[in-house]
Amino acid sequence: MTRTTLLLAAALALPSALLSSRADAQAALLVLGDDARLDGLASTLQVELAGEGWQVAQGPSPVGGTPLQRAGDAQQCAAERGARAALWVETGPEGGALLQVVDVDGSAPRHAPLPAPLDAVEARTFATVAASLLDELAAPPQRLRVRVQVAVEAEDGSRFVVEEGSASVRAGERSATVELGAEAEGAPPTEAPPVDELSAEPPREPLPPPAALQGDAAPLASPAASPVSPAAAPPSDGPHVVVGVDFAPFVGMSSAPWGRGRRNLSVGLLAAWSSEVHGVGLSGGANFVTERLDGALLGGGANFLFGDGAGVLAAGGLNLQRGDLVGAALSGGANLPLGHVEGVQAAGGLNWAESVTGAQLAGGVNIARGRVDGVQAAGGLNVARGGRGLQIAPLNIQRERFDGVQVGVVNVSKGADFALGLVNIVQGGRTHLELSATAEGFAFAMVKHGGAHWHYLYSLGGRPFSNGDDDAAWAFGLGIGAHATLTERWFLDVDLLAHYLHDGEGTDELTNEIGHEALSQLRLVAGVEVLPRVALVAGLSLNVLTAYEDDSRYAPWAVDLRDHVPAEELDLREDWSVHIWPSVLLGVQFF
């Protein structure tokens, strides 16, 4: 065979060898999904990726309740099938299609939006977006080379420079350079293991998906989920005296550094000063602790703690703390911890805290900048930003959703389980207007306002005409009700109302004023939305009329309880009457 023939044979065999090598190095891409259109999209994607060395296969949709769980399942499917990556389609935040790809080596999922839903996107567009995600997945990370140089120059012109593993010094005409970390001369170089030894290792199993992508992986714990209690902090290693006595700050043992350290018993005539108290601090005026308390501070005037504390702060006037407290702060005037309180705050005037787990009790005002999980009770005002528990005060203000009960004259919230008061304001709650009429001739306009399952009623109405011996009357009243949403259109309300009635009849013998009439109603009302924001309502009511010096009956079928029950059993004077009757109502409600 001639030399020319050999060269020609080698040239013909080279492309075949390259193609064979490339085919062996092909990476598998697993396209997951149950949509029938994915068959055609996968075929187009195979054509798009043919020149990149990818082989496309298909599988069922990944399972999981969240996108992260589905990513973990897709990664596991790809590992089990021996594929390098998995690709599937998610629903985007705004309802669009989102193309997702994940590598089996543990890389974070990558995604890109599709310009149209999966059933409308063009196959070529799908393939182009998928190919760009795979290119991003396969691209090696870019390394940034950083060069650091440190130079120090003295006034006499000498210079010291450290860079690239060497240090040089120049002083006048002399200079020297030292290699940092260089190998000692004559030391044998480190040899790499032979290639055949590396290849002799058994093949490794594919790595399982990282915990962050596995569907049953536990979520990472937030640092705030398990806060470290201030009581867990150990004592400092600073100066320590068992008993420290001061006349005033820096007048006494605190005048020396060793006397201002940690104390087990701190005593002050006017005031005491220490860094920590692990025991008891007593002062006729004020206690000053700059770092930490484990125990009790008892001050006739004030306690000042500039760190965390575990125990009791008790003062006649003021407790001021810059940190968290586990325990109790008791003051005749104000408690002002600028951190979280886990325990009890009780003050004659003001309680202030960042957040509270426990109770805030004040004769005047309770304010929490954050949540209150527990009880807030004040003689004037309660303020908090969400939480759960109970608020009791003439004015209660919740600046976030409150999982609990508010009791007061005025209650304000962005949603509460229940509120009992004269005025209840629910920001973002339900506000409805009901116009209804009853069988005995009463007509009412009612405003309903409240949360998802309860509301208050503010009613104004009356009976505009007389009927025989019964006069016309006007009425105003308040009530409370429960609300249930049965379906998207149907709802049911149960309401209890109390009205004051005035018909111009009857006088009080002592004051010569118009006689009193009170109408109480228990209503069961059903409604159906017939138009947007408009509903028809109908229901039954049980009415009780209590009148003084008045024989008004309003409903001919009303029953006078005095005719059936002795007056002494009703505990009523002879000039009082009680009528009871059932009725029906019909009306319209506007949302």
With 0-12 / 13-18 / 19 or more C-beta atoms within 10 angstroms meaning exposed / middle / buried, residue 332 is middle
Q: Quote the radius of gyration of the chain (alpha carbons, Å).
A: 41
441 with 507, same domain?
yes
Higher pLDDT, 224 or 55: 55
Instruction: Look at residue 154 and tell me if it is in a domain.
Output: no
**Average pLDDT of the residues in 106-116:** 79
The pLDDT of residue 382 is 96
The count of domains in the chain is 3
Domain identity same for 389 and 445: no
Contact call for residues 457 and 478 (beta carbons, < 8 A): yes
Write the pLDDT tens digit of every residue in 540-587.
Answer: 999 998 887 666 678 888 888 777 776 666 666 667 778 899 999 999
- 3-state class of 486 per DSSP? coil
- Residue 258 CB partners (closer than 8 Å, separation 6+): 239, 241
Question: What proportion of the chain, given as a percentage, has pLDDT over 90?
Answer: 41
CATH number of domain containing 56: 3.40.50.11240
- Choosing from 401, 423, 445, the residue where a domain stops is 423
Max intra-chain CA distance, the chain = 143
Tokens of 531: 């138009």
Residue 34 phi, psi dihedral angles, 5° rounding: -105, 0
Looking at per-residue pLDDT, the higher value among 265 and 49 belongs to 265
Q: Does 70 share its domain with 119?
A: yes
Tokens of 232: 């867990």
Per DSSP (E only), the strands in 354-453 are 355-362, 365-368, 372-378, 381-384, 387-392, 395-398, 402-407, 410-413, 416-420, 423-426, 430-438, 443-450
186 falls within a domain: no
198 falls within a domain:
no
pLDDT at 142: 54
Residue 132: phi and psi, rounded to 5, are: -65, -35
Assess whether 368 and 479 both reside in one domain: no
**Rounded distance, CA 432 to CA 452, Å?**
12
| CB proximity list for 489: less than 8 A, separation 6 or greater | 528, 529
Residue 329 falls inside a structural domain: yes
Calpha distance 446→521 (Å, rounded): 13
SS3 state of residue 562: helix
The 3-state DSSP class for residue 48 equals helix
Looking at the chain, the whole-number percentage of residues with pLDDT higher than 70 is 73
Is the residue at 580 inside a domain? yes
Report the alpha-carbon distance of residue 445 to residue 46 in Å, rounded. Answer: 70
Q: Does residue 183 register a pLDDT over 70?
A: no
d(CA 40, CA 62): 19
Structure confidence at residue 494 (pLDDT): 96
Q: Between residues 212 and 392, which one has the greater pLDDT?
A: 392
Residues 6+ apart with CB under 8 A from 111: 90, 98, 99, 100, 101, 133
Please enumerate in sequence order all residues whose Cβ is within 8 A of that of 327, keeping only pairs 6 or more positions apart, or say none: 309, 310, 311, 312, 313, 342, 343, 344
Average model confidence (pLDDT) for the chain? 80
Q: Would residue 348 be called left, alpha or beta, if left means φ above 0 and alpha means ψ between -120 and 50 degrees? A: alpha
CATH (domain of 474): 2.40.160
* pTM exceeds 0.75: no
- Do 398 and 444 lie in one domain? The reply is no
Shared domain for 539 and 471, answered yes or no, is yes
Domain boundary among 408, 423, 438: 423
Same domain, 51 and 95: yes
pLDDT at residue 254 greater than cutoff 70: yes
Q: Assign 459 to helix, strand or coil.
A: strand
CA distance 177 to 166: 7
| Closest by CA position to 296, among listed 342, 254, 329 | 329
Ranking 348-362, 460-474, 571-585 by mean pLDDT, the lowest is 460-474
Q: Do 414 and 434 have their domain in common?
A: no
Q: Residue 331 burial by CB count (10 A; 0-12/13-18/19+): exposed, middle or buried? A: buried
Query: Domain check: are 468 and 583 in the same one?
Result: yes
Three-state SS at 578: strand
- For the chain, the residue count is 591
pLDDT tens digits for range 78-105: 888 888 888 988 887 666 788 888 888 7
User: Cα–Cα distance between 303 and 337 in angstroms, integer?
Assistant: 11
d(CA 34, CA 37): 9
* 309 has a pLDDT exceeding 50: yes
- pLDDT for 200 equals 40
Domain coverage including residue 509? 430-590
Residue corresponding to tokens 């949509």:
35
Cα dihedral across residues 24, 27, 32, 38: positive or negative: negative
Q: How far apart are CA 160 and CA 329, in angstroms?
A: 59
CB 475 within 8 A of CB 501: yes
As given in the structure block, the two tokens for residue 450 are: 């409240």
352 and 466, same domain (yes or no)? no
User: Residue 179 domain-assigned?
Assistant: no
Whether 380 maps to a domain, the answer reads yes
> Per mean pLDDT, which of 21-35, 167-181, 358-372, 469-483 is the most reliable?
358-372
Is 70 exceeded by the pLDDT of residue 462?
yes
The tokens 């207007």 sit on which residue? Answer: 433
Q: 360 and 256, same structural domain?
A: yes
d(CA 164, CA 151): 12
Residues 461, 565 share a domain? yes
Q: Sorting pLDDT into bands at 50, 70 and 90, what band is 13?
A: very low
Lowest mean pLDDT among 140-149, 379-388, 463-472: 140-149
What residue type is assigned to position 389 of the chain? G
pLDDT of residue 319: 95
User: What's the rounded Cα separation, in Å, for the pair 201 and 316?
Assistant: 78
Q: Is the pLDDT of residue 328 over 50?
A: yes
Last residue of a domain, one of 391, 423, 455: 423
Residue 50 per-residue DSSP state: G
Q: For 139-179, write each residue's pLDDT tens digit.
A: 655 555 656 666 767 666 677 666 666 777 777 667 777 67
Indicate whether 538 pLDDT > 90.
yes
Residue 7 lies inside a defined structural domain of this protein: no
Question: Helices marked H in 539-582 — which ranges?
Answer: 567-570
